Chain A
């Protein structure tokens, strides 16, 4: 006579009770929590709370790395320093020539503005800040600067360095602020081509670049052309370098092009930034 085995009682190597019911319940709870957080934005409040302990912790954790870098810098050879000095002298000369041109242009601009009775739109107050660390939190780049609410920094303030636009303040505390880099996925900035044509909106890709998903193909844009802030949003001053076009690909039956833009500034290469206070007047 054949013996029938009950499949229900068949337990192989794991003899524990199957957690399928609790798994489904907790799966639903997780989805519910994610949906709630996404819609109601609970995480920023938690981030605000945990940001009290974050900067000192990050500072101490990254201290060995910082020390090794500073030791490396200290041990730079004399010849390298001399070479750097010559390069700096050369660039200083070039800058002084540029400066002379700018002084002339400024004077000319002022005369023209006076004659046309247009107010200057670049009356912006700014302060310099130091990047505590261009940290990496869970694989995501985050910039923390050493100036906060006490220095007049507000959420939304633009941040630049000598190479161009760095990002925008997304969180501010008493003595420090967190900056979202321009390449962050949620980042959007109105821009214009350096030749003064084509007002567009640039968006961060989240992977070190910016993009324009649909740029009309009848408009002329070449690889290497630079985008600058257009200033039409009242947040970013006009004329700050954003990045250069590095790739153009046709999309949607060749009516549009997808433009990929590499940012001109990288926060990891500079420790000092400037933060604009308040909006553009």
Chain B
């Protein structure tokens, strides 16, 4: 029992560190990518991978609070990331209810669909509230975000197996 609690605490600390690193990554310009329109959406990639891999056993309220923290620290509109995070969580819940993701290809498709849902929500809220976002290279940005998301997924999987 104590060991379980210790493992849970450890997982939470690692999760918090990865979350902080994600927030920092959002302020970093990549050496090969100079155009801001191409910068991957780290926050969305992180949330999709975290929720899909069920790394911290988060519930809807915790996901919402995590989204609100992201909004306060790096967001453009309070509630935007919170909304995206809960939509991703709920979509993931529905997927997991009817489907069982086992193979690497299925996990890839799961991440891709969740990411597209998240990006669509981000796009719609940004359009509705006239946020200053660039959509000229959105396709490439989504591909880069997906790559980052898969990177996060591998990391979470590795950490899960380690524990």
Q: How many angstroms between the C-alpha atoms of A170 and B26 in the bound complex?
A: 21
Assess A13 versus B96: contact at CB under 8 Å? Given A136-B39, A139-B37, A207-B37: yes
Is A19 touching B59 in the complex (CB atoms < 8 A)? Answer: yes
Contact string against B for A residues 19-63, beta-carbon threshold 8 Å, 1 for contact and 0 otherwise: 110110011011111101110001100100010001001100110
Question: Given the interface contacts A26-B61, A30-B86, A268-B34, does A62 sit within 8 Å of B78 by beta carbon?
Answer: no
A70 at interface, CB cutoff 8 A = no
For B122-145 the 0/1 string (1 means CB < 8 A from A) is 000100011111111000010000
Measured CB to CB, the closest approach of chain B to A104, in angstroms, equals: 42
Contact residues in B for A135 (Cβ distance below 8 Å): 27, 29
With A14-B93, A16-B93, A37-B77 known as contacts, the answer to whether A23 contacts B132 (CB < 8 A) is no
* Contact A62:B29 (CB < 8 A) given known A13-B97, A19-B60: yes
Is the beta-carbon distance between A12 and B97 smaller than 8 angstroms?
Answer: yes
User: Does B156 sit within 8 A of A, measured CB to CB?
Assistant: no
A34 near B41 with CB under 8 A, answer: no
Of all chain B residues, the one with the shortest Cβ separation from A21 is B60
Bound together, the chains give a CA A65 to CA B93 distance in angstroms of 40
Could you mark each residue 5-39 of chain B with 1 if its beta carbon is under 8 Å from any beta carbon of chain A, else 0?
Answer: 00000000000000000001011110100101101
* Structural contact, A141 and B129, CB atoms closer than 8 A: no
Give CA–CA (A140, B135) in the complex, Å.
Answer: 11
Say yes or no: A207 contacts B78, CB within 8 Å: no
What's the minimum C-beta distance from A142 to chain B, rounded to whole angstroms?
Answer: 9
How many Å lie between the Cα of A68 and that of B129 in the bound state? 38
Which chain B residues (75-106) contact chain A, with CB distance < 8 Å? 75-80, 82-83, 86-87, 89-90, 93, 96-100
Quote the shortest CB–CB distance from A226 to chain B (angstroms): 23
B4 CB-CB contact with A under 8 Å: no
**Contact in complex: B96, A139 (CB < 8 Å):** no
Whether B74 is near chain A, meaning CB under 8 Å from some CB there, is yes
The answer to whether the Cβ of A208 comes within 8 Å of any Cβ in the partner chain is yes
